[in-house]
């Protein structure tokens, strides 16, 4: 067969060197030849290279990802089958949600990189037929304190990423209602930008990304294709180097306005019943959407490139197929419905074109002016990428710390230092830039343990939280990953929610290095174990490998986004204290005597005050964790708690200070607690023992709370009271007492980030 | 309830490409007694079925060039102009306010926030004029709290215009602190004279940056927005409206 | 025909962007003043369809009513070719 | 010394504003194409403090690192006086 030999632009020859430059190994090249029964041409090589990149094929992580529990009676669409998983939430409604990374584009161009990341994940959700309802974002940067070049660059990245998310999310009209931001050296030069979107739909609205029905027309709709973002999927599957700066064409510019129109048009289109299949053009653009829809539909797809709306002249087939221009969709329409479809696109002022049709021969066939330029079995391309079982190094277990190795710092100063750590300090500066009240459903504003949102259309209340302590993961990836999942579920439980699904973003270093691969495997197994234990399915996720900068890989960061359901809006609990008459309790152990490091391994106390990342991460007892959730659920449902806030980074003292500082102005008062004198103060106050929540209890409910805690088997300790006529936080241990003025804690907590960013 | 020959007053919520608080307005308005909201696509040319018009918030045309710059040329805007001319109530919220200024239905302009950042927060406002068709229900309530969310909310007009607005009581809402004092710290965007919302000369067109539709449902913690919509209901029930 | 429209904030109108640029330039060790940030809009028009004069009128109309806001901005129109 | 910096999206880079402006001009009965929207930044620098050449270097630095985003934009620097 002769393929497009007479084309005007002569394509480069496929040489071993060209193959390597495309990130394919020679073995992979041989496999391609076998699939085709001949050598690929240059365009076909490009097509294979993006589809077989880690980003699209998960070739290095697939075998590991199979360890996740993905099923369950509420799962309507499983992880990996479509663009996002779908979970039943009752009354005929379901949710689709997923997290996606845009780390490398954001490193090169923070504003557009983050913005297009938001655009991409939103498309994944409405492609499923769901109306997107809210966003979360999980961000990591190098340290932003100080005047060094590095710190300044980190601030620039941080400001740019937040502005980019704000720009895209606000414009399209989705509330960004939660997330996390951490700062750590390991992210110098390689920030992490993970964005999450959740959408809601009726069961019968689930749309499939499959090309079905021979002869059905294939439509292209959305922005014109340009040379931007060429081969971004391949870009994401490489390490960042100095030369990455030269990869600038890989950066795309987003147009949230177009996306808004595209979203409305697609939802209208899906409701019209004209659509046989639909798929967004994300990574690997037109290539990915054509071969994946064909593969899922057990069919073939044939498209003509001359019909594709183009922004630039003289684009080659290679460029058109590999472009990652944003805001584009592929829609397969039931034959005979073309006019209705066109009307909808025209109503929304969107460029569109009928570019091809569904065939039955199983090929992804691409023509240019009638000549075949690509002809590849779609299924092989989409599904048959090699799966690698990478070599995993044996990881060194972390060395436990003795209690005597934890230096003592005056608690007064230590608390101030921790609250002014940018990773702990309030992220208000961030979320003030996000419209978090649009769609009038944010029942808890950002700043609570989990975001809580009422969808006005379905009347369903959902909660979502994203978590990961990467210091724990660096010391022990399995333990860190388990804690990430548990913390996420605990955050949900603190608002009154019960988890229904998890989506994860695995941010790791180059998997070809056995140490990195071992971290990946350990983390996956840790996530799987906890999800399995609680019967919560992993409904999808994303893998971002090659997160390295010249100074090495990032600390492993398996970001967990969990979604929960809240039975009734009357069960919702905020994180902050709200009634000056309340008593304060700790649910869980004040000190984990079974933990070798007493909850100081990988703690913020050691990191912030002594620059150390060492020890064994806190111990996690899943049975105890389960009992805690049960207790919270029970107490929330009968409204026995006025607030619940979990102890995480910085331990009990930080959690207490947060719950107090976040109190609404009109009910402000003081708080006093006293702790049993069973260990040195810094150990009691700052250990990061797991499975602990600070709650505030109305006076008349105290007895019942204690009774329930006892019945379920959760330790409950009365810590103290809110003090109506006061404005201090005070803690006493034995005969000693420490006191903080509101003003000093407040400025440490709320002013740190604005002061760093606004100068 | 009787409004003209109808039992309920009908509000058109105009949907421009890029409007994104349109559904919020519909949900909020439809939760209140005496009002019924319906979406109207910007390519429509008639508003004769409606008693009032709401231009909702959002990013019409992506805010490209300037917020509201392109939307003001939408086909529906001629009808909105006629509507305003007839003295019927027109409410522009956030992007809707920007569109009304661009269209010349309200004086002045809304420019970039002085911080150059988008700001989403809840702010205190003083209701400076309670004798308008949008504020008659405020009664004893002077200082209220409403959500804001905008990147271009800094109200600007020349001295003469500002003087006139102040003199004629057309500054309806002003950013203040919780004690009702308009100081620099309580101005979220740098607006001249801390202006958050203004009225046209005739008194039937109100533009404001804060979002009353986000303060209607109890479970969001703020309900001052109801007073604005309820004032409109009262107006439709008034003799003034019935005989106009 | 190439069209080039410059839109600048009127003098007297606060320009926070301009101020921010001055601030930022100081970090580069550059002391500047009177900074104003405006826009340029460039586009092409196919010749020959309408008379030159008519086009010019139209372009002024577009510049005044769409590309700039006379309350806060001035425009400058240049036509090439 | 007056400085005038033009910042425009690189050719090939999507310019969403430009697209929207084209759409809108159609309302005026104007069929245009290739619309790009950029920025102009104008400011003044007191003469005499540093050498001309040095200033020019600084201005290029500022234009590249502060006023434009080299990843997606090009700049053009003009110095008067
Ligand atoms: N980038 C962000 N965007 C929106 N909200 C954020 C962001 N970062 C943090 N938050 C919010 O700040 C609060 C505290 O976050 P975090 O410190 O991670 O708490 P926790 O340790 O309880 O998980 C949460 O409500 C979270 O949603
Ligand atoms: Mg967290």
Nearest CA distance, C41 vs chain B (angstrom): 9
Cβ of C25 within 8 Å of Cβ of D66? The answer is: yes
Instruction: Tell how far the Cα of A143 is from the centroid of ligand 2, in angstroms.
Output: 18
Ligand 2 (ion): residues with CB under 5 Å are A 180, 467
Residues 41-70 on C with a CB inside 8 Å of D are 41-46, 49, 58-59, 61-62, 65-67
Residue A64 contacts residue A74 (beta carbons within 8 Å): no
Q: Which CATH architecture is the domain B9-236 placed in?
A: 3-Layer(aba) Sandwich (3.40)
Tell me: domain C2-80, CATH 3.30.1280.10, correct?
yes
Nearest CA distance, C18 vs chain D (angstrom): 8
Q: Is residue A545 part of a domain?
A: yes
Confidence of residue A722 (pLDDT cuts 50, 70, 90): very high
Please tell me if residue D3 touches chain C, with a CB cutoff of 8 Å.
yes
Cβ of B28 within 8 Å of Cβ of A437? The answer is: no
Q: For the segment C49-73, what is each residue's pLDDT rounded down to a tens digit?
A: 678 888 899 999 999 999 999 999 9
Q: For the segment A308-353, what is each residue's pLDDT rounded down to a tens digit?
A: 999 888 899 999 999 989 999 999 999 999 999 999 999 999 999 9
Full domain range(s) for residue A223: 1-68+209-385
First and final CA of chain B: distance in angstroms? 18
pLDDT at position A245, please? Answer: 46
Q: Does residue A86 share a domain with residue A232?
A: no
List chain A residues with CB under 8 Å of D64: none
- Please report, rounded to a whole number, the percentage of residues in chain A having pLDDT higher than 90: 88
CA distance C61 to A717: 74
Shortest-distance Cα residue to atom 21 of ligand 1 = A648
Q: For the segment A457-472, what is each residue's pLDDT rounded down to a tens digit?
A: 999 999 999 999 999 9
Q: For the segment D19-75, what is each residue's pLDDT rounded down to a tens digit?
A: 889 989 988 888 899 999 999 999 999 876 678 888 899 999 999 999 999 888 999
CA distance A130 to C65: 39
Mean pLDDT of all residues in B157-165: 97
Residue A420 contacts residue A755 (beta carbons within 8 Å): no
Report the helix count and the strand count for chain A, using DSSP H and E: 25, 28
Q: Is residue A420 part of a domain?
A: no
Instruction: Note the pTM of the prediction, 2 decimals.
Output: 0.95
CA distance A173 to B62: 11
Average pLDDT score over chain A: 94
| Encoded tokens for A686 | 């700052």
Q: Is residue A3 part of a domain?
A: yes
Q: For the segment A662-690, what is each residue's pLDDT rounded down to a tens digit?
A: 999 989 999 999 999 999 999 999 999 99
Q: For the segment A528-570, what is each residue's pLDDT rounded down to a tens digit?
A: 999 999 999 999 999 999 999 888 999 999 999 999 999 999 9
Instruction: Tell how far the Cα of A652 is from the centroid of ligand 1, in angstroms.
Output: 17
Q: Does residue A213 share a domain with residue A85?
A: no
The domain total for chain A is 3
Mean pLDDT of all residues in A597-607: 96
Confidence of residue A494 (pLDDT cuts 50, 70, 90): very high
* C-beta of A560 in contact with ligand 1 (< 6 A): no
Can A22 be counted among the known catalytic residues? no
pLDDT at position B6, please? Answer: 52
List chain D residues with CB under 8 Å of B73: 24, 27
List chain D residues with CB under 8 Å of C62: 25, 28, 30
Q: For the segment B77-118, what is each residue's pLDDT rounded down to a tens digit?
A: 999 999 999 999 999 999 999 999 999 999 999 999 999 999
How many C-alpha atoms does A431 have within 13 Å on its Cβ side?
Answer: 28
CA distance A758 to A162: 14
Q: Is residue A188 part of a domain?
A: yes
pLDDT at position A3, please? Answer: 46
First and final CA of chain A: distance in angstroms? 65
Residue A181 contacts residue A430 (beta carbons within 8 Å): yes
Confidence of residue C28 (pLDDT cuts 50, 70, 90): confident
Q: Does residue A532 share a domain with residue A475?
A: yes
Tell me how far the alpha carbon of residue A159 is from its chain's centroid.
Answer: 19
8-state DSSP, A310: B
Shortest-distance Cα residue to atom 25 of ligand 1 = A447
Nearest CA distance, D38 vs chain C (angstrom): 5
pLDDT at position D11, please? Answer: 83
Q: Is residue A419 part of a domain?
A: no
What is the position in ligand 1's atom list of the atom closest to the CA of A181? 8
**Best residue for ligand 1 mutational test, from A114, A426, A431 (most atoms within 8 Å of Cβ):** A431
Q: What CATH number has the domain bearing residue A155?
A: 3.30.1330.10
pLDDT of residue A514 exceeding 90: yes
List chain A residues with CB under 8 Å of D23: 349
Q: For the segment A427-460, what is each residue's pLDDT rounded down to a tens digit?
A: 999 999 999 999 999 999 999 999 999 999 999 9
Q: Is residue A404 part of a domain?
A: no
Catalytic, out of B21, B94, B101, B154: B94
CA distance B73 to B50: 21
Q: Does residue A259 share a domain with residue A341?
A: yes
Confidence of residue A9 (pLDDT cuts 50, 70, 90): low
ipTM score assigned to the predicted complex: 0.94
pLDDT at position B242, please? Answer: 78
**Axis crossing angle, helix A651-661 with helix A742-757, rounded to the nearest 10:** 90
Q: What CATH number has the domain bearing residue A688?
A: 3.90.650.10
Q: Is residue A417 part of a domain?
A: no
Nearest CA distance, C43 vs chain D (angstrom): 4
Confidence of residue A5 (pLDDT cuts 50, 70, 90): very low
Nearest ligand to the CA of A446 is 1
Cβ of A249 within 8 Å of Cβ of D12? The answer is: yes
pLDDT at position A8, please? Answer: 46
Confidence of residue B218 (pLDDT cuts 50, 70, 90): very high
pLDDT of residue A235 exceeding 60: no
Search chain B and give the residue with CA nearest A569.
B219
Q: Is residue A6 part of a domain?
A: yes
pLDDT at position A299, please? Answer: 96
């Amino acid at each position: 067969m002769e393929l497009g030999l007479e084309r005007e632009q002569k394509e480069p020859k496929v040489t071993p060197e060209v193959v390597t430059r495309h990130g394919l190994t020679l073995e992979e090249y041989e496999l391609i030849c076998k699939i085709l029964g001949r050598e690929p041409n240059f365009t076909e090589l490009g097509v294979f290279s993006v589809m077989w990149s880690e980003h699209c094929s998960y070739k290095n992580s697939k075998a590991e990802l199979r360890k996740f529990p993905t099923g369950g009676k509420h799962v309507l669409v499983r992880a990996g089958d479509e663009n996002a998983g779908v979970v039943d939430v009752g009354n005929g409604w379901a949710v689709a949600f997923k997290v996606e990374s845009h780390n490398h584009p954001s490193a090169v161009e923070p504003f557009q990189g983050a913005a297009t990341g938001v655009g991409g994940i939103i498309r994944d959700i409405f492609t499923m037929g769901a109306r997107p309802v809210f966003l979360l974002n999980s961000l990591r940067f190098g340290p932003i304190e100080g005047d060094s070049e590095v710190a300044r660059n980190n601030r620039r990245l941080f400001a740019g990423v937040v502005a980019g998310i704000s720009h895209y999310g606000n414009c399209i009209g989705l509330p960004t209602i939660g997330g996390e931001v951490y700062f750590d050296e390991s992210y110098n030069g390689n920030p992490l930008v993970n964005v999450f979107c959740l959408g809601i739909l009726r069961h019968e609205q689930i749309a499939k990304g499959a090309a079905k029905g021979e002869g059905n027309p294939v439509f292209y709709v959305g922005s014109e294709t340009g040379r931007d973002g060429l081969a971004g999927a391949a870009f994401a599957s490489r390490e960042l180097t100095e030369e990455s700066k030269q990869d600038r064409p890989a950066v795309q510019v987003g147009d949230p306005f177009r996306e808004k129109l595209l979203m409305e048009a697609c939802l209208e289109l899906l409701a019209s019943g004209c659509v046989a299949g639909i798929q967004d053009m994300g990574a690997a653009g037109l290539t990915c959407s054509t071969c994946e829809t064909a593969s899922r539909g057990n069919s073939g797809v044939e498209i003509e490139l001359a019909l594709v709306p183009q922004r630039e002249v003289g684009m080659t087939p290679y460029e058109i197929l590999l472009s990652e221009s944003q805001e584009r969709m592929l829609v397969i329409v039931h034959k005979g419905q073309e006019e209705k479809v066109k009307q909808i696109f025209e109503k929304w002022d969107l460029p569109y074109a009928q570019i091809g049709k569904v065939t039955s021969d199983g090929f992804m066939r691409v023509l240019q002016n009638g000549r075949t330029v690509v002809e590849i079995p779609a299924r092989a391309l989409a599904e048959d990428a090699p799966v690698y079982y990478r070599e995993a190094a044996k990881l060194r277990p972390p060395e436990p710390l003795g209690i005597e190795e934890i230096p003592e710092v005056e608690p007064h100063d230590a608390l101030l230092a921790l609250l002014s750590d940018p990773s702990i300090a309030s992220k208000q500066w961030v979320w003030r830039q996000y419209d978090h009240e649009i769609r009038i459903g944010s029942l808890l504003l950002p700043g609570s343990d989990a975001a809580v949102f009422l969808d006005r259309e379905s009347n369903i209340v959902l909660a979502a939280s994203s978590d990961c302590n990467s210091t724990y993961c660096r010391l022990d990836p399995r333990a860190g990953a388990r804690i990430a999942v548990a913390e996420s579920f605990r955050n949900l439980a603190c608002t009154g929610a019960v988890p229904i699904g998890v989506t994860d973003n695995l941010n790791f270093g180059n998997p070809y290095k056995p140490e990195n691969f071992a971290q990946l495997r350990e983390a996956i197994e840790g996530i799987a174990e906890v999800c399995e234990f609680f019967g919560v399915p992993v409904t999808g996720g994303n893998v971002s490998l090659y997160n390295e900068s010249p100074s090495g890989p990032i600390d492993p960061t398996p970001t967990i986004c969990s979604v929960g359901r809240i039975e009734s809006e009357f069960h919702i609990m905020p994180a902050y204290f709200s009634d000056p008459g309340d008593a304060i309790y700790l649910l869980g152990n004040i000190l984990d005597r079974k933990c070798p490091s007493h909850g100081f391994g990988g703690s913020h106390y050691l990191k912030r005050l002594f620059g150390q990342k060492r020890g064994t991460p806190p111990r996690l007892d899943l049975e105890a964790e389960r009992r805690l959730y049960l207790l919270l659920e029970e107490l929330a449902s009968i409204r026995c708690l006025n607030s619940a806030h979990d102890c995480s980074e910085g331990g009990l003292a930080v959690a207490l200070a947060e719950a107090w500082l976040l109190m609404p102005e009109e009910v402000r008062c003081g708080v006093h607690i006293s702790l049993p004198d069973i260990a040195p103060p810094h150990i009691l106050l700052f250990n990061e023992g797991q499975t602990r929540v600070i709650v505030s209890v109305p006076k008349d409910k105290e007895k019942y709370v204690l009774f329930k805690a006892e019945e379920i088997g959760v330790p409950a300790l009365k810590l103290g009271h809110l003090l109506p006529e006061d404005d201090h936080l005070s803690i006493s241990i034995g005969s000693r007492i420490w006191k903080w003025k509101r003003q000093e804690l407040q400025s440490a907590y709320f002013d740190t980030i604005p002061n760093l960013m606004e100068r | 309830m009787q409004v003209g020959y109808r039992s309920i007053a009908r509000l058109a919520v105009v949907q421009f490409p890029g409007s994104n608080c349109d559904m919020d307005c519909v949900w909020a308005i439809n939760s209140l007694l005496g009002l019924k909201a319906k979406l109207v696509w910007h390519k429509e040319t008639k508003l004769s079925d409606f008693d009032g018009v709401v231009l909702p918030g959002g990013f019409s045309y992506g805010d490209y060039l300037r917020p509201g710059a392109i939307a003001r040329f939408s086909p529906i805007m001629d009808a909105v102009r006629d509507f305003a001319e007839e003295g019927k109530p027109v409410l522009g919220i956030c992007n809707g306010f920007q569109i009304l200024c661009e269209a010349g239905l309200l004086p002045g302009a809304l420019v970039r926030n002085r911080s150059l950042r988008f700001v989403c927060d809840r702010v205190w406002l003083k209701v400076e004029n309670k004798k308008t068709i949008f504020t008659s229900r405020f009664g004893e309530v002077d200082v209220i709290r409403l959500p804001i969310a905008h990147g271009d909310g800094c109200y600007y007009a020349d001295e003469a215009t500002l003087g006139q607005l102040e003199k004629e009581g057309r500054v309806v809402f002003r950013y203040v602190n919780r004690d009702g004092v308009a100081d620099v710290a309580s101005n979220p965007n740098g607006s001249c004279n801390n202006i958050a919302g203004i009225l046209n000369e005739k008194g039937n067109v109100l533009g404001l940056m804060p979002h009353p539709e986000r303060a209607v449902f109890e479970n969001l913690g703020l309900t001052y927005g109801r007073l604005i919509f309820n004032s409109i209901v009262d107006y439709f029930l008034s003799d003034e409206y019935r005989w106009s | 025909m190439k069209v080039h429209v410059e839109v600048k904030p009127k003098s007297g109108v606060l320009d926070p962007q301009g101020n921010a640029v001055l601030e930022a330039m100081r970090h580069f060790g550059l002391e500047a003043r009177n900074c104003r940030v405006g826009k340029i809009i460039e586009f092409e028009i196919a010749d020959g369809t309408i008379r030159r004069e008519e086009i010019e009128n139209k372009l002024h109309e577009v510049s005044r009513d769409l590309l700039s806001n006379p309350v806060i901005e001035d425009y400058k129109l240049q036509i090439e070719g």
